[in-house]
């Protein structure tokens, strides 16, 4: 099955004066309202319709507010949308990205299929990077997961896709160049979203592995480990999680060698890919269990990131490793109390079969370090419900043994709007997972549940390897509607890690 961006809109950049006389025009006003020059121009041409509409609807230019003028006189546009920019002080970080998403959300193809956005501030010039961010936000909002809606459904009948989005800005050439790598980001984020949104009867571990394999088309080298190979490697923790399922387990290893041999050892990104988490014999309650089709959001992010890096030809060596398993209860499932041996030789007492993500990651993390001697390891996982109790859906949890890596990730989070909040690790928390019968146990009790989960992962990190764990249970799926996403899967982490790599790991 193919990627599903049904509402395909072609995006282009043009100068402010480029001819445009159909569809929708979008112009802006800052807090006040202070009209931008394009807004003033359209106001003049319509004999004051814009300022009159603003007055009637008490539009002040507040961020996110807007006024619609339908069938304006004196111009050929079918509709003019006046959008508030807020205050110049708000124009930091992901502001232009979100504005692009919000504007895209106000557009449809009903007025003729084209939209012309006159992107500018009331005072001072907009940078090419900001224009590219705006375009990225618009393209990210331009995503729907509707492949399972039959052709005659209501939404399909009423669909009038926007065909053309033209961003008019001061330096369209520079904006076009700044946007070039962002096309890859759109593809990467949408791949991650597609994978998260896909139901678990379709996206089995083998099906996910096949989608990973397809990244070869983009220049990623992909190998898939079979259960037999994993058994030989000693991946007893990962295999124990998958042993209750009819669907075989897989590990996908995706290498992008954009910096060549001279680029040295890679950065490793590891993802939890539990394609469905029933809890196993420690079965989850029925209510909301359907959400556990998204328990592979970490792995989806890794796949999306690898696609983005390859498509934009990032000058970095990176390896993505994802553990793909299904956690099912059955006669062959692991039991509470079982003891298994991980690839590292560490023995694990399985107190709760629902604490499966950490077992999958344990072997993937060890394999990553043994095989690739990475300069840093970052893992992403929908690991604990407790992270949502702590942080809600605004921040993902960040755990790290390295202050510099942690600071870099936090900064990348603020830049992209994929925000992280660091939580502590330490010897007292580590003690929580000591076991009476094995080296460690797979749960550390109710208090600080996200932290003891992170401590478990750290038991599989070699001293001296900079490592960070991102708990994305609250942000990877069902994270709520935003300006740039209305689908269930968010694609969280792709932009964050791409930004981290751009800022610190590219040659």
Contacts of residue 139, defined as CB under 8 A and 6 or more positions apart, other chains included, come to: 9, 11, 100, 104, 182, 186
Residues 430-469, mask of contacts with ligand BES (x by CB under 6 A): -------------x-----x--------------------
Q: How far is the CB of 251 from ligand BES (least distance, A)?
A: 18
Q: Is there binding between residue 30 and Mn ion (CB under 5 A)?
A: no
* Cα angle for residues 191, 196, 200 (degrees, 5° grid): 125
Q: Which of the residues 328 through 357 are near Mn ion (CB under 5 A)?
A: 354, 356
Our separate counts of H helices and E strands in the chain read 16, 18
420-422/396-400 β-pairing: parallel
Q: Which does 221 bind (CB under 5 to 8 A by kind): Mn ion, Zn ion, ligand BES, none?
A: none
Give whole-number Cα distances, 416 to 94, 95, 467, in Å.
6, 9, 21
Binding mask 295-314 for ligand BES (x = CB under 6 A): x-------------------
Q: Shortest distance, CB of residue 430 to Mn ion, whole angstroms? A: 21
Contacts of 349 (CB under 8 A, 6+ apart): 337, 338, 339, 435, 436, 437, 438, 440, 441, 442
Tokens for 168?
A: 């008019």
Query: Would you say how long the chain is, in residues?
Result: 507
Q: Which residue in this structure is represented by tokens 């401590």?
A: 455
In this chain, which stretch among 39-47, 48-56, 223-231, 274-282 interacts with Zn ion, using CB under 5 A? 274-282
418 interacts with, out of ligand BES, Mn ion, Zn ion, none, CB within 5 to 8 A per kind: none
Q: Which of 144, 193, 358, 441 is catalytic?
A: 358
Given a contact cutoff of 8 angstroms between Cβ atoms, the answer to whether 290 and 202 are in contact is no
**244 phi and psi angles, rounded to 5 deg:** -90, -5
Q: For residues 40 and 352, which CB has a smaller minimum distance to ligand BES in the complex?
A: 352
Per annotation, catalytic residue among 45, 121, 284, 502: 284
Q: Can residue 294 be called a binding residue for Zn ion (CB under 5 A)?
A: no
| Residues numbered 333-362 forming contacts with Zn ion, rule: CB under 5 A | 357
Contact call for residue 326 and ligand BES (CB under 6 A)? no
Residue list 367-396, contact with ligand BES (CB under 6 A) = 382, 384-386
* Residue 295 in contact with Zn ion, rule: CB under 5 A: yes
Q: How far is CA 209 from CA 202, 262, 349, 394, in A?
A: 12, 29, 29, 30
Contact 69, 105 (CB under 8 A): no
CB 146 within 8 A of CB 155: yes
The least CB distance from residue 230 to ligand BES, in Å, is 20
Interactions with ligand BES, residue window 273-292 (CB under 6 A): 277, 291
Is residue 356 part of the contact set for ligand BES (CB under 6 A)?
Answer: yes
Q: Give 96 or 429: the residue with its C-beta nearer to ligand BES.
A: 429
Q: Measured between alpha carbons, how far is 110 from 115 in angstroms, rounded to an integer?
A: 10
Of the residues 111, 120, 182, 277, which one makes contact with Mn ion according to CB under 5 A: 277
Is residue 284 flagged as an active site residue? yes
> Using CB atoms, what's the residue nearest to Zn ion?
277
Smallest gap from Cβ 454 to Mn ion, in A, equals 15
State the catalytic residues: 284, 358
Q: Which residues here bind ligand BES, judged by CB under 6 A? A: 277, 291, 295, 352, 354-357, 382, 384-386, 443, 449, 473
């Amino acid at each position: 099955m193919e990627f599903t961006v049904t509402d395909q809109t072609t995006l282009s950049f043009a100068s402010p004066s480029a001819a445009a006389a159909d569809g929708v025009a979008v112009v802006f006003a800052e807090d006040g309202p202070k009209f931008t020059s394009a807004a003033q121009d359209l106001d003049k041409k319509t004999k004051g319709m814009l300022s009159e509409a603003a007055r009637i609807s008490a539009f002040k230019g507040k961020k996110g507010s807007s006024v619609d003028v339908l069938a304006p006189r004196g111009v050929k546009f079918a509709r003019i949308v006046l959008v508030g920019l807020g205050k110049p002080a708000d124009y930091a970080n992901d502001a232009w990205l979100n504005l692009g998403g919000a504007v895209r959300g106000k557009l449809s193809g009903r007025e003729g299929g084209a939209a012309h956005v006159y992107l500018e501030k009331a005072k001072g010039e907009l940078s090419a990077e900001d224009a590219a961010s705006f375009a990225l936000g618009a393209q990210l909002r331009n995503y729907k997961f509707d492949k399972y809606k039959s052709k005659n459904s209501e939404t399909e009948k009423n669909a009038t896709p926007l065909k053309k989005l033209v961003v008019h800005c001061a330096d369209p050439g520079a904006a076009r160049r700044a946007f070039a790598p962002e096309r890859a980001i759109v593809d990467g984020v949408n791949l991650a979203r597609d994978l998260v949104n896909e139901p678990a009867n379709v996206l089995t571990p083998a099906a996910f592995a096949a989608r990973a394999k397809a990244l070869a088309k983009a220049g990623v080298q992909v190998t898939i480990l079979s259960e037999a190979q994993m058994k030989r490697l000693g991946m007893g923790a990962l295999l124990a999680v998958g042993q209750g399922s009819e669907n075989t387990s897989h590990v996908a290893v995706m290498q992008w060698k954009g910096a060549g041999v001279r680029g040295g050892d890679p950065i490793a990104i590891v993802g939890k890919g539990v394609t469905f988490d029933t809890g196993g014999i420690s079965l989850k309650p029925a209510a909301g269990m359907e959400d556990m089709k998204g328990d592979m959001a970490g792995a989806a992010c890794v796949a999306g990131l690898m696609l983005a890096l390859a498509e934009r030809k990032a000058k970095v060596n990176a390896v993505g490793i994802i553990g793909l398993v299904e956690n099912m209860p059955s006669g062959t499932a692991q039991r509470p109390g079982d003891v298994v041996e991980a690839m590292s030789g560490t023995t694990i007492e399985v107190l709760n079969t629902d604490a499966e993500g950490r077992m999958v990651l344990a072997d993937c993390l060890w394999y990553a370090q043994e095989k690739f001697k990475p300069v840093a390891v970052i893992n992403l996982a929908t690991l604990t419900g407790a992270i949502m109790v702590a942080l809600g859906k605004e921040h993902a949890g960040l755990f790290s043994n390295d202050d510099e890596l942690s600071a870099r990730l936090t900064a990348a989070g603020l830049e992209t709007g994929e925000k992280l909040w660091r939580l502590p690790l330490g010897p007292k928390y580590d003690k929580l997972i000591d076991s009476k019968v094995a080296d460690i146990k797979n749960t550390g009790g109710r208090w600080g549940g996200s932290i003891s989960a992170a401590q478990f992962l750290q038991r599989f990190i070699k001293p001296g390897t900079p490592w960070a764990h991102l708990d994305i249970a609250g942000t990877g799926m069902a994270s709520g509607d935003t300006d740039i996403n209305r689908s269930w899967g968010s694609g969280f982490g792709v932009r964050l890690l791409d930004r981290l790599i751009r800022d610190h790991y590219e040659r």
